[in-house]
Amino acid sequence: MEPTHRLDVLGHFCPVPVSQTRKALTKLSPGEVLEVLADDPETLHDMPVLVDRLGHHVIDVIKSAGEFRFIIEVRS
C-alpha cells in the first residue's frame, strides 16, 4: 500500500515519535496510510504497541542505515 501521508520524526527521541504519530493518526480517515520515518531505536517496540492500542495496523517496518520506516494503515 502506498502512503497517503508522511510524518518525519528523525532526530527526535521518546516520547516525541510516538506522541506525534498518535496525533497524526487521529487526523486520518480509515483506509489512509501513514508513513513514519524515525531513528529512535525505542520506536521499534513503542510504535507497534501504540498502533495496536489505537486499533490500526502496521503494514510494514523497513529498517535501513539506522532509520526505521513504519507503514501504518488507519482502521475504523
3-class SS of residue 47: helix
Of 14, 44, 49, 62, which one is the catalytic site residue?
A: 14
Query: How far from 38 is each of 29, 30, 31, 64, 76, CA to CA, in Å?
Result: 22, 23, 22, 11, 25
Residue 64 annotated as catalytic: no
Active site members: 14
